[in-house]
């Protein structure tokens, strides 16, 4: 593995869209006792179902801590590759590399990671094991890696159409816990140089009460060039209402890098989901402080799906809108099977299906 | 990775000779403070030189514990792949899989490992991390693995010519700390069924004071079909003298699986090398007992070389016989470069170059 200090875009590399063809997908076996209730058993079962589903269409690589390797190996199908790798938590989207390609070769970008806000408003301390994962993964996958550790970025805070357009949120990328010394223009320049994009669409805020400082991947996602889904509610009493309205206005007023206006598909949110007392009782505290409190609203959204080669893995919450979400996605992804995954035990950790996955794009001709 | 319970030989697989073409080589970054003096720094420098040399000819995979990953990554060239994997010590020959092939495919054999004798006369406790490495390596390398964990065997206790002949020692394979419930005939049958050999040549004992119960890879090795090197001394006062004489008699009276008599090349030993007080002062004790004592003789032998695709990495001890050993190997391996490696800091750990390496055979046509 070579460690590169040049700019991917200047080397002719770009970040592909998630809906482009994948070589595989990376996940991290959950373990953190203050993130996942009851020793992560329920979360592991949810990960197991998700991983088994994804493995129908692409290779899956699962990173497990030394202590959890046997659990992962025993619970996952033989076709899934389990490797030992230490981590602080299990959010592959945010700690695995962002992969870029020039059409012939794949390289990884190793961003700085500070647990969604570092000492300002990060979610745990320390985060050194997470921060080392991107480079370790590139080493493991025999891919050269771009050293961008001086720039704090999580994969969940960006979405691209693979054709020069990037979606992100001001709430996250301009947050004081990320890159406070950089102006909005400097951050834009960094995104252009690293991801090979020309046009950046800035939404203001992410999902209400999303503890990642409003990652875009929970509120809005590309489903095809010129097409996005947007998390939506018609309930004017929900604080989410104004946020979604604001996003819609921005999206309707934007065009992509190719000059196309965006078609916005509304993806209705489930009714608010809150943490139960029973769930809180199964969680370790962090430095004596509870990580969840009963009645706390979780950032549930159907937008946090994962697009695999032949299918779309969609979160399900036991809500009447579960079926609506599946229908909307079926229209957005006509060539793919829409797979419902009960993800309530993932949601409790603070994210969802998209947050725990990271695709590795494919190069060369389709087999 | 599939876990197979059949017999490799019955599936058409055999263990290739080390002198056949390799895909790569596996090593484990040293860390154990009661094996390697002064926090393993000197050992790491020796590993670094060895690994850099091997990487001229084949891919090298280095397993490093979480705590040692950065050290390995920083000290090794970019072309070397470093992966995180926990271990109890650093003897890849004995804990990595023994690879077998049918000409098209490579599979690994996962033997049981009990630290060279388990509770009878093993060298450390516990050994569970080492014992899990073979399967983890198969998973990492995307190779199916044969489950032979019920049979205790280390890679250093066997050598094959790849053409049906196996070399081993009674001292090791019949030791009470390995497979005491099995007869010699049952062990032979196991070796035939797993390694695809027909003829087993049993030497009596390995190198004097070799703490592995006399691994064959320190006293005798195939250099080509029908050709072996044997560790040798002309000093009648050395306890090694009778051992080498005994081996020579057995080898001279043996023929290989193809019915060929064996040509024996004598490889002179260095003068006895003993542990110094200074070295002992740099070693942690184990459960209060010293792991080395001043004046203790180490099992130094030039036979513990590694055959890479284009070269042979030969131990050097700062002894007048260093050059003789290089000359003998140059004659035995006319097509390969003979590379001297000062291995005194590896020897202190209890083994040498062959003990810390494990080749992955290549399949298909040579590139």
What confidence tens digit (pLDDT) does each residue in B334-355 have?
999 999 999 999 999 999 999 9
B141 in a structural domain: yes
B150 in a structural domain: yes
Count Cβ atoms within 10 A of the Cβ of residue B228 and give its class: 0-12 exposed, 13-18 middle, 19 or more buried: buried
B192 in a structural domain: yes
The Cα of A67 is separated from the nearest Cα of chain B by a number of Å equal to 10
Q: Which residue segment(s) compose the domain that B106 sits in?
A: 3-361
Q: Which of A70, A82, A86 sits opposite B66 (nearest CB)?
A: A86
CA distance B125 to B130: 11
CA distance A287 to B263: 69
Q: Which of A1, A129, A136 sits opposite B78 (nearest CB)?
A: A1
CA distance A161 to A335: 17
Question: A159: closest CA among A27, A306, A259, A53?
Answer: A306
A115 in a structural domain: yes
B69 contacts A132? CB cut-off 8 A? yes
Q: Which of B2, B81, B129 sits opposite A139 (nearest CB)?
A: B81
Q: For residues A150-176, b (16+ Cβ closer than 10 Å) or e, as one string?
A: ebbbbbbbbbbbbbbbbbbbbbbbbbe
CA distance B160 to B168: 9
Residues of A in contact with B86 (CB under 8 A): 66, 84
Question: B63: closest CA among B99, B42, B89?
Answer: B89
Share of chain A above pLDDT 90, in %: 98
CA distance A198 to A192: 6
- Could you please report the per-residue DSSP string of A224-250? ETTEEEEEE---TTSHHHHHHHHHHHH
Residue B367 has pLDDT above 80, yes or no: no
B366 in a structural domain: no
A136 contacts B83? CB cut-off 8 A? yes
CA distance A182 to A65: 35
Please check whether residue A86 touches B, CB under 8 A: yes
Residue A366 has pLDDT above 90, yes or no: no
The Cα of B181 is separated from the nearest Cα of chain A by a number of Å equal to 28
Q: For residues A308-327, b (16+ Cβ closer than 10 Å) or e, as one string?
A: bbebbbbbbbebebbeebbe
Helical residues (DSSP H) of B179-252, grouped into ranges: 184-195, 239-252
What confidence tens digit (pLDDT) does each residue in A26-78 have?
999 999 999 999 999 999 999 999 999 999 999 999 999 999 999 999 999 99
Residue A286, both tokens: 């962090």
- pLDDT at position A367, please? 46
In this structure, the strands spanning B98-101 and B81-84 are: unpaired
Residue B302, both tokens: 């030039």
Please check whether residue B5 touches A, CB under 8 A: no
Residue A365 has pLDDT above 90, yes or no: no
Domain count, chain B: 1
We report the CATH number of the domain holding residue A355 as 3.75.10.10
B367 in a structural domain: no
Where do the DSSP E strands lie in B85-191? 98-101, 106-112, 145-152, 159-160, 165-169
Q: What average pLDDT does the segment B275-288 reach?
A: 92
What confidence tens digit (pLDDT) does each residue in A132-180 have?
999 999 999 999 999 999 999 999 999 999 999 999 999 999 999 999 9
From first CA to last CA, the distance across chain A in angstroms is 26
pTM: 0.94
The Cα of A114 is separated from the nearest Cα of chain B by a number of Å equal to 19
Q: Band the pLDDT of B288: cuts 50, 70, 90.
A: confident
Q: Band the pLDDT of A326: cuts 50, 70, 90.
A: very high
Strand partners of residue A82: A62
Residue B243 main-chain phi, psi, to 5 deg: -65, -45
What confidence tens digit (pLDDT) does each residue in A340-357 have?
999 999 999 999 999 999
The Cα of B57 is separated from the nearest Cα of chain A by a number of Å equal to 17
What confidence tens digit (pLDDT) does each residue in B123-155 have?
999 999 999 999 999 999 999 999 999 999 999
- pLDDT at position A364, please? 77
A355 is a catalytic site residue = yes
Residues of A in contact with B3 (CB under 8 A): 78
A81 contacts B84? CB cut-off 8 A? no
Residue B291 main-chain phi, psi, to 5 deg: -85, -20
Count Cβ atoms within 10 A of the Cβ of residue B110 and give its class: 0-12 exposed, 13-18 middle, 19 or more buried: buried
What confidence tens digit (pLDDT) does each residue in B49-59 have?
999 999 999 99
Active site residue: A148, A172, A220, A355, which one?
A355
B3 contacts A139? CB cut-off 8 A? no
Helix (H) or strand (E) holding A136: helix A128-140
ipTM of the complex: 0.90
Are residues A64 and A87 in contact, defined by beta-carbon separation less than 8 angstroms? Answer: no
CA distance A169 to A216: 6
Q: Band the pLDDT of A288: cuts 50, 70, 90.
A: confident
- Could you please report the per-residue DSSP string of B200-216? EEEES--STT-TTT--G
- pLDDT at position B364, please? 76
Please check whether residue B136 touches A, CB under 8 A: yes
- Helix, strand, or coil here: A13? coil
A366 in a structural domain: no
B197 in a structural domain: yes
- Could you please report the per-residue DSSP string of B6-18? S-TGGGT-BPPPT
Residue A260 has pLDDT above 90, yes or no: yes
Best of B24, B31, B61, B66 to substitute, by most chain A Cβ atoms within 10 angstroms, is: B66
Residue B366 has pLDDT above 60, yes or no: no
Best of B75, B84, B129, B149 to substitute, by most chain A Cβ atoms within 10 angstroms, is: B84
Average pLDDT over chain B, rounded to whole? 97
């Amino acid at each position: 593995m070579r460690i590169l200090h040049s700019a991917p875009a200047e080397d002719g590399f770009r970040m592909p869209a998630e809906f482009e063809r994948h070589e595989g997908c990376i996940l991290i076996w959950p373990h953190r006792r203050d993130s996942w209730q009851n020793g992560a058993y329920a979360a592991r079962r949810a990960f197991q179902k998700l991983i088994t589903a994804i493995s129908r269409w692409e290779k899956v690589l699962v990173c497990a801590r030394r202590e959890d390797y046997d659990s992962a190996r025993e619970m996952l199908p033989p076709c899934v590759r389990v490797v030992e790798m230490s981590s602080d938590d299990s959010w592959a989207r945010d700690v695995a590399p962002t992969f870029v390609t020039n059409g012939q070769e794949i390289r990884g970008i190793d961003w700085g990671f500070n647990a969604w806000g570092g000492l300002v408003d990060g979610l745990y301390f320390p985060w050194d094991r997470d921060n080392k994962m991107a480079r370790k993964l590139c080493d493991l996958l025999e891919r050269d890696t771009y050293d961008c550790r001086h720039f704090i970025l999580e994969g969940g805070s960006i979405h691209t159409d693979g054709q020069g357009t990037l979606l992100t949120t001001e709430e996250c990328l301009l947050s004081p816990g990320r890159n406070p010394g950089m102006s909005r223009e400097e951050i834009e320049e960094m995104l252009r140089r690293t991801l090979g994009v020309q046009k950046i669409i800035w939404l203001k805020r992410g999902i209400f009460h999303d503890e990642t400082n409003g990652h875009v991947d929970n509120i809005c996602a590309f489903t095809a060039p010129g097409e996005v889904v947007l998390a939506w509610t018609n309930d004017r009493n929900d604080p989410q209402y104004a946020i979604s309205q604001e996003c819609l206005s921005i999206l309707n007023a934007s065009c992509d890098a190719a000059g196309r206006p965006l078609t916005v598909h509304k993806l209705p949110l489930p009714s608010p989901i809150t943490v139960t007392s029973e769930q809180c009782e199964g969680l370790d505290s962090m430095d004596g402080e509870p990580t969840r409190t009963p009645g706390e609203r979780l950032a549930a959204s159907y937008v946090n799906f994962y697009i695999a080669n032949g299918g779309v893995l969609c979160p399900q919450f036991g809500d009447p809108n579960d079926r609506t979400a599946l229908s909307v996605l079926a229209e957005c992804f006509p060539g793919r099977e829409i797979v419902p995954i009960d993800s309530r035990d993932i949601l409790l950790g603070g994210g969802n299906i998209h947050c725990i996955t990271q695709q590795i794009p494919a190069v060369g001709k389709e087999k």
